[in-house]
Amino acid sequence: MNMVSDTFGRPLTTLRVSVTDRCNMRCRYCMPEEQYIWLPRESILTFEEIARLVGVFAPLGVDRVRLTGGEPLLRQELDTLVTLLTRVPGVRDVALTTNGVFLAEHAPRLRHAGLHRVTVSLDTLRPERLRDFARSPRHADIVAGIAAARHVGFPVKINSVVIRGFNDDELAELLEFGRAHGAEVRFIEYMDVGGATHWAPDLVVSRQEILDRLAARYGPITPAAGKARPAAPADEFRLADGTAFGIIASTTAPFCGTCDRTRLTADGHLFLCLYAATGVDLQLPLRSGATDAELAGLITPAWQGRRDRGAEERLVVAGRGALYSRAGLRADPHREMHTRGG
């Protein structure tokens, strides 16, 4: 193991792998436009290519891999990739973030393949809101997906992006839904990244406001003694009855200081930060016959030179709006959230 750290001493521990930029939903905070420029199909890494790259990252310190997208369950036989990744020496945690629509049918095979954990994105309990906000009629399938994932034994978390005027009246209902389904809810502040072209500061419901609203309903809320991992993005809390939940305050209280995450796009570009303007192309060398040592020789200096603290830098931007305009996103689809994997 030859662990690498960046200029702020942050290790490279967590790799988010986007397996596709396509999605069957159109959440307004992520993919609000009518048309998208997709990554060319032939540029999408095969499962073997992804596993090979993960095998290069692991000796540098990566022991946690999260599959994301786009919608990762749109990739046929994703369980085959899970099997390959669980066999990579040094990788001890393989997780999945999904919108849940296809989860019920895939949960048993994913479990069998050795996937460790599942996070399902669910922002509303009202099917008509999902229809309007994410252009999806599949609310019941998402709920069934959560139940199926629990049924086969996965630890499940629910991610809910909170947006003023959309779902900020459902905080308690989402918590209670999570409690009923044995799935911890994590509220996420709306971020101005990538595809969030409709972002505006007044749409963000801050961690403090989320806590105030829940305290008004449930009484005192206790912060957990510490994070499960120092680099974990969520702050953990408990209601008086013991119900645990998390808040990811990416916008009002970013956690760049401990960020150990890097992102691999479906076409093999490495991004050191969700907000990074450019990435490192690993696909070209991979497909041109580079050895593992040569690939590690591209990743290591990139991480060692990392100075990114994108969300913290955004805090001081005057008159802050969306990071990119529609035209800016169309100029480079790698800027999209659904390409970077969230």
Binding-site ranges for ligand SF4 (CB under 6 A): 23, 25-27, 30-31, 69-71, 99, 121, 134, 254-256, 259, 261, 273-275, 308-311, 338
Q: Can you give the length of the chain in residues? A: 342
* Residue 339: contacted member of ligand SF4, ligand SAM, none (CB under 5 to 8 Å, by partner type): none
Q: What is the token pair recorded at 163?
A: 């947006």
Residue of 13, 20, 68, 167 that binds ligand SAM (CB under 6 A): 68
Residue of 154, 190, 255, 275 that binds ligand SAM (CB under 6 A): 190
Asked whether position 338 contacts ligand SAM by CB under 6 A, the answer is yes
What is the rounded distance in angstroms from the CA atom of residue 254 to the CA atom of residue 233? Answer: 9
Neighbouring C-beta atoms of residue 304, cutoff 10 Å:
12
* Residue 28: contacted member of ligand SAM, ligand SF4, none (CB under 5 to 8 Å, by partner type): none
What is the rounded distance in angstroms from the CA atom of residue 13 to the CA atom of residue 11? Answer: 6
What is the rounded distance in angstroms from the CA atom of residue 219 to the CA atom of residue 217? Answer: 6
Asked whether position 339 contacts ligand SAM by CB under 6 A, the answer is no
Asked whether position 51 contacts ligand SAM by CB under 6 A, the answer is no
* Residue 118: contacted member of ligand SAM, ligand SF4, none (CB under 5 to 8 Å, by partner type): none
Residue of 124, 159, 262, 283 that binds ligand SAM (CB under 6 A): 159
Asked whether position 270 contacts ligand SAM by CB under 6 A, the answer is no
Residue of 14, 121, 124, 283 that binds ligand SAM (CB under 6 A): 121
> Which amino acid belongs to residue 211?
L
Q: 97 phi and psi, to 5 degrees?
A: -115, 125
DSSP string, 144-204: HHHHHHHHTT--EEEEEEEBTTTTTT-HHHHHHHHHHHTEEEEEEEPP--TT-TT--GGGB
Binding part of the chain for ligand SAM, among 55-63, 184-192, 278-286, 311-319 by CB under 6 A, reads 184-192
Nearest to ligand SAM of 298, 312 (CB atom): 312
Is the distance from CB of 21 to CB of 39 less than 8 angstroms? yes
| Residues sharing a CB contact under 8 Å with residue 117, sequence separation 6 or more, in sequence order | 93, 95, 96, 154, 155, 156, 157
* Residue 268: contacted member of ligand SF4, ligand SAM, none (CB under 5 to 8 Å, by partner type): none
- Least distance from C-beta 9 to ligand SAM, angstroms? 27
Q: Are strands 269-271 and 261-264 parallel, antiparallel or unpaired?
A: antiparallel
- Least distance from C-beta 109 to ligand SAM, angstroms? 18
Instruction: Name the site residues for ligand SAM (rule: CB under 6 A).
Output: 23, 29-30, 68-69, 71, 97-99, 121, 159, 161, 188, 190-191, 193, 196, 337-338, 341-342
